[in-house]
Amino acid sequence: MSAPDRVALGVPLWPLPLLAAALPVLATHLAWWLSVQGDYIPLCNPYLEGCTSISRAARHGLGNDLFRMAMLPCATLQALFWLAAHRWLRRHDPGVGPWVLWLGVIGAGFLAVYVTFLGTEGAIYQVLRRYGVHMYFAGTFLALMATLRRLARWPGEPAYRLLLTVALGMLSLGIASVAVDATVADRALKERLENILEWNLGLWLTAMFAVFAWRWRREGLRVGLE
């Protein structure tokens, strides 16, 4: 891949993936802390002990309100990120198809569905929440895989190995989740393990956006007047 042309004018683009990484982390942990303070959930390390899920941590009281207020804009930020990522890929490789864009936007759309119905009651809303979060992770992971497929063709691309590590980490957690569901009979233990996997999957997802922020800052990628 030839060295990219630097854009002299315009707004730096790297804060977009940085916000897409930081906002969910801040919203999730603030909601968790508020739920602990409100005695809605027990105090523990959810990454290691799995005493609560992300959904339960953000389901009640003020934590739910703040989580939804932060995460709905975050879904928009992530959709915009995938639009920018698609244009970035096409800037270096005009043959890139629409899969990165559409998979990422679909994932962001399901994130909005999940957040919208978080804290609501009823069987239909529970299905929407469950499929919303599952499709969010699936769509985002597939968009990452489509991105990696293109980056693999760029000799010396510095983000490739980092993003490949993220993808393998997410894949490992997904396989572990399937294994837990299929082999663990104890309901309480299964729930704890699934919660641990869910919290750690969120970290890997955050790392993916952070890698893009680092890569785009290194390139000096900007949007606006050239």
pTM for this predicted structure = 0.88
SS3 label, residue 12 = strand
What is the residue-level pLDDT of the chain in tens, covering all 226 positions? 444 444 346 789 999 999 999 999 999 999 999 999 999 999 999 999 999 999 888 888 888 889 889 999 999 999 999 999 999 999 888 888 899 999 999 999 999 988 888 867 666 667 777 778 889 999 999 999 999 999 998 888 999 999 999 999 999 999 999 999 899 999 999 999 999 999 999 999 999 999 999 999 999 988 764 4
Token couple for 133: 């979060």
Lookup result for tokens 């042309």: 5
> Which residues face 12 on adjacent strands?
222
SS3 label, residue 108 = helix
Q: How far is residue 181's CA from residue 178's CA, in Å, rounded to a whole number? A: 5
Q: How far is residue 19's CA from residue 25's CA, in Å, rounded to a whole number? A: 10
CA distances from 8 to 18, 36, 68, 222 (A): 21, 48, 37, 8
Question: Which H or E element spans position 222?
Answer: strand 222-223
pLDDT in the model for residue 6: 44
- DSSP class of 5: P
What are the backbone dihedrals phi and psi of residue 120, each rounded to the nearest 5 degrees, phi first? -90, 160
